[in-house]
Structure formats: structure tokens, C-alpha cells
Amino acid sequence: MEKIVSLCRRRGFIFPSSEIYGGLSSCWDYGPLGVEMKRNIKQAWWRAVVQERDDMVGLDTSILMHPQVWEASGHVKEFSDPLVECKSCHLRWRSDDLTDNKCPSCGGELTEPHQFNLMFKTFMGPVEEAANAVYLRPETAQGIFVNFENVLNTTRKRLPFGIAQIGKAFRNEITTGNFIFRTREFEQMEIEFFVPPETDKEWFDYWVAERLNWYVNLGIKRENLRLRQHGQDELAHYARECYDIDYLFPMGWSELEGVANRGDFDLVQHAKYSGKNLNYYDEETKQHFVPYIIEPSAGVDRSFLAFLYDAYDEEPDQGEIRVLLHLHPDLAPVKVAVLPLSRRENLAAFAKQLYTDLRQCWTVQYDDAQSIGRRYRRQDEIGTPFCVTIDFQSLEDNQVTIRERDTMNQIRVPISELRSTLQAKLQGEDLFVLPPGGKIWKEETKV
Ligand code: GAP
């Protein structure tokens, strides 16, 4: 984990929040590379669960919601963790995280546990009184449930269908840590999939497999993922069944995403508290019923950490260590780097033109500082899949070299084919199948 944290800091993926003031516990800022990668994760998710499907639509609901939402959802009553305090040093802990009844910091005696509600409370408007209290949402899901009818009426979707949302959630966690794994402000990618009650089991299995495959398709090693079923005693108050998709993080197996069968709990509760009829009418069977909901709920920040950790690699390289991120091209913050072999004017102008052209398609970096070897290493370390090198011969034959991050193989292609070749390779076309008349060589024997 230390290496990942250090790489993130050094290369501008993630910075401590408010760092010039000494930082704020467990709050992090995504830097120039981090924000690109985070956007790529969200885009890959949206593409898989909304764009490429007929049975899903998206939504973006507000963080502040009517306070009754949280009464109805059960969060005011149930969304709490058992809190204990050390009688000596007064540090506070989650009692269910402790193996014995001693303070992990000083070994002191602990108080009896009491339930601590995890929702952040604030006030709407200029008067701080109980009547104006609102909560920062602890999950994005409720924004979807309360819009179920709106979506049905405006999209004419029929069951089974789902609604997807990406957004911030807030939890006043008693203990945080492991970098961006557990924080008080984080982002979720949630699907609420509405199904006829009698089909809940098959949809539950479907979504567990679908979500596992999403991680694998984006490069996470299968052996670093596992499914863990929740025991009856750990099921959330709304869940009938739940599986965690766990990832083997540096601190051990931990939850990456939860897939829950929420049954009809949420729609029944919101119908009760709002007085609205949230039944669904099935035109084929002429029946009214409350749909069941299958919920795959993923964390953007945890996915970020897992993708980064899984991609991190160190290789011996001519007496040194080559650090590289084997990031899937869809997730890599920079897709292509343009590297002129020299800063000479005619070469620079040529390379800049290429850079301007490629930037219309992808996030591209231009780097002309230091030796070409060092520049390759800099790009390897941030996971850039392809470097395009321009040399003096390029001025004569209008060809450039594409160098691939993982294999370090290189091919020479005509400029007229550069965009289409990169496009194909970024989309996963068999890497380094030679274009007609092209040649391939290893980095050590290059130009
Ligand atoms: N709507 C269901 C729900 O919120 P959850 O298991 O509590 O379920 C879903 O949260 C996902 O949100 C988790 O699998 C995790 O990826 C992410 N998550 C939850 N709490 C988090 C925290 N404190 N910091 C970072 N991510 C968190």
C-alpha cells in the first residue's frame, strides 16, 4: 500500500485534502491524473450498465433529500455502528472491529457499546433548529427509489428494468483508513434493478456474475476477486440476501462492491411514508404488485484503489527497476504520449502538429524532457498504453514509431495510419499485428 500511496502522491493521482493546512483526516483530492482515471472508471461503468443496455436508464439526483426519506428508508433508526470509547485515552472505536475488549491504542478499558448513527446532519437555510435538519445522503440509492414513478412515466420502461446513478455519498464512519478504502466522503455507482418478485433469484445471480465480469474485463486478476455471502446476522436492515464482491487489497480481502436483494422493502416504505401508490401495473398479466429490487452497489474510490493496486508491477530492467501500471487502456489516465527524439525546431513542429491532432481523440501528453528511455519509464509508471516517437527519419518518410507499454514492442507506421492504428489498439485489437510493410522490434534494439 505504501508504494501505491507514494506513486499517487508523486505522480499526481491523489493528494491529501487541504494539505497546506496539515490535511483533513481521511479526506483526499484526486489530482490531474487521478481525475482522468476516476472519470474513466465511471465512464466504463456507465457504458456497461446504461449505454450498452436496453433495460437501463440513468439518473442524477440531489444529495440533500426530504428528511422523511431517511425515516422511511430506515436509516434514521438503523444506520448505525456500535461505538465504544476508551476510558483512559478517550479514543473511539467500532466495537465490532475489535478482537478483545481493550483499547487498541493504549490497552485501556472500554465503555459499553452504544449505537452511533453514521449520517451527517446539517441544516437547510439560515436557522439551525431541529425542524430544518437535513442529512447528507449515505447512499445514492434513495434518490432512485423516490423517482421510480417519474422514470416509469417518462420513459415507458417496463419490468424488468433498472436505474443507474453515480454520485457522492457521506458517512460519518467511526474508523476510516487504508488510504481511499474507507473515507467519510466517497462516490458510489449504484444500480437499482426492478423485477417481478418471483424472478428475483435469477436476476440476483445474473447481476452478481455481470458485476464480477465487469472487473475482470477491465483487467482485475480473477484470483484477486471472490464472492462472500452475508450471514443472517450481518445483513443490512433492507436486505433479504447479499453477496460482497471482495478484492484482495494489501490489507486483506475486503469489500469492493455489494450486490443485495432488497426485496420490496424500499418501495413499500416510501409508499407508506409518502402516501403515494408505488405499485407497478403489469399490462400482460393485468396485475398490480410492488417490484423487488436487485442492487449492485459499487464504490468508485475502492474500484480506483483495486484497479491501481492490481495494475502495479515492478520489473528488472537493465540493472534498474521498471515500475509500470498495466492499466486497461479504457482506464489509463493518458492514452498516448508524443515523444520527439530531439527538441530541434523542425522535429518539434512536426511532433506538436501530431500532438494537436491526436488530442482531438484522446488524452495525450507531450514530453520532450530528458532521454527517451526516461520518458518511456515516466509513461510506464502512469500506465500510458502507447508512446509515439518521432525521429529525424519521420521528417523524410512520414512514419513514426508506436511503442507498447507492456511488451515494449515497437512498430513503425505511416502518419496517415497513426490514428486508426492507435484507435484499433486502444480498443484491444490484437497488439502488434504488423501493418503491411511494417516491422517490429524490441526496445533494446530500437532506433
Ligand atoms: N446502497 C447500498 C449501499 O450503500 P454499501 O455496501 O453500504 O451498500 C456500497 O456500500 C459500496 O460503497 C461499498 O461496496 C463500497 O465500495 C462503497 N463504500 C461504502 N462505504 C464506504 C466508505 N466509507 N468509503 C469508501 N467507499 C465506501
Is 119 in contact with 135 (CB distance < 8 Å)? yes
Q: Report how far residue 248's alpha carbon sits from residue 345's, in angstroms, rounded to the nearest whole number.
A: 50
CA–CA gap between residue 131 and residue 186 (Å, rounded): 27
Using the atom order of ligand 1, give the atom closest to the CA of residue 176.
Answer: 23
How much is the pLDDT for 115? 85
The residue contributing the CA closest to ligand 1 atom 21 is 182
Q: Which one has a higher pLDDT value, 318 or 137?
A: 137
- pLDDT band for position 437 (50/70/90)? low
Q: How far apart are CA 317 and CA 224, in angstroms?
A: 26
Transcribe 337-391 into DSSP letters.
Answer: EEEES---HHHHHHHHHHHHHHHTTS-EEE--SS-HHHHHHHHHHTT-SEEEEE-
Tell me which residue has cell 449520517: 119
Which band of pLDDT confidence, cut at 50, 70 and 90, is reported for residue 445? Answer: very low
DSSP H/E element including 15: strand 14-16
Q: Which of 359, 387, 45, 96 is nearest to 213 (CA)?
A: 45
Closest ligand 1 atom to residue 257 Cα is 14
pLDDT at 441 over 60: no
Provide the pLDDT confidence category of residue 440 given band limits of 50, 70 and 90. very low
Per-residue pLDDT at 315 exceeds 90: yes
Residue recorded with cell 481521511: 26
Percent of the chain with pLDDT over 70: 96
How much is the pLDDT for 429? 67
Instruction: Establish whether residue 173 lines the binding site of ligand 1, counting it when its CB lies within 6 angstroms of any ligand atom.
Output: yes
Report pLDDT digits (tens) over 77-88: 988 888 899 999
Given this model, what pLDDT does residue 446 score?
36
pLDDT tens readout for residues 160-216? 999 999 999 999 988 888 999 999 999 999 999 999 999 999 999 999 999 999 999
Q: What is the pLDDT of residues 191-206, one digit of tens each?
A: 999 999 999 999 999 9
Cis peptide before 138 (omega within 30 of 0): no
Rounded Cα distance, 137 and 169, in Å: 6
How high does pLDDT run on average in the chain?
Answer: 92
Is the pLDDT score of 282 beyond 50? yes
Residue 51 per-residue DSSP state: I
Is 305 a residue whose pLDDT tops 90? yes
pLDDT value for 285: 94
CA of 229 to the centre of ligand 1 (A): 16
Q: What are the tens digits of pLDDT across the range 40-59? A: 999 999 999 999 999 999 99
Give the Å distance between the CA of 70 and the centre of ligand 1.
17
Number of H helices, E strands in the chain: 13, 24
Check residue 392 and give its pLDDT: 93
**CB contact set of 429 (below 8 Å; sequence gap of 6+):** none
Please identify, by atom number, the ligand 1 atom nearest to the C-alpha of residue 260. 2
